[in-house]
Amino acid sequence: MTDISRRSTDEADACSSPQARATLAPDHADALARSLKALADPARLRIISIVSAHTDQEACVCDLTDQLTLSQPTISHHLKVLVEAGFLARAKRGTWSYYSLVPGSLNSVAGVLAAV
């Protein structure tokens, strides 16, 4: 064996180290990426913050429009994204819609971020 081929084998062995914990499976990484994408917008983060700041963790659309400097259709779009991603639940009462945090919905995102 030549010095060059021996060095290549030694370098490959030195590069491989055991993992200390499990990594994300491809399907879990895809699902998590979709969740993070839904949260990766300042308006959506503010919506989550506003809803969670209420004592019952539920807010009416009027609570959101009063605090956000966005048009009502834009707020509705952001709410739809958060509902579809599973972070918020929607309940219609009369003419108003109320949004609440889905219990545990932020846990998977928080767990992955804490492990990084």
Instruction: Indicate whether 7 belongs to any domain.
Output: no
Instruction: Indicate whether 19 belongs to any domain.
Output: no
pTM: 0.75
How many domains, the chain?
1
Q: What is the CATH number of the domain that holds 62?
A: 1.10.10.10
Give the domain extent around 79: 25-115
Determine the pLDDT at residue 9: 55
Instruction: Indicate whether 1 belongs to any domain.
Output: no
Q: Could you report the per-residue pLDDT of 8-64, keeping only the tens digit for each?
A: 555 555 677 787 777 778 888 888 888 889 999 999 999 999 999 998 889 988 888
Determine the pLDDT at residue 116: 58
Beta-sheet pairing, 88-93 with 96-101: antiparallel
Q: Could you report the per-residue pLDDT of 59-104, keeping only the tens digit for each?
A: 988 888 889 989 989 999 999 999 999 999 999 999 889 999 999 8
Instruction: Indicate whether 10 belongs to any domain.
Output: no
Instruction: Indicate whether 45 belongs to any domain.
Output: yes
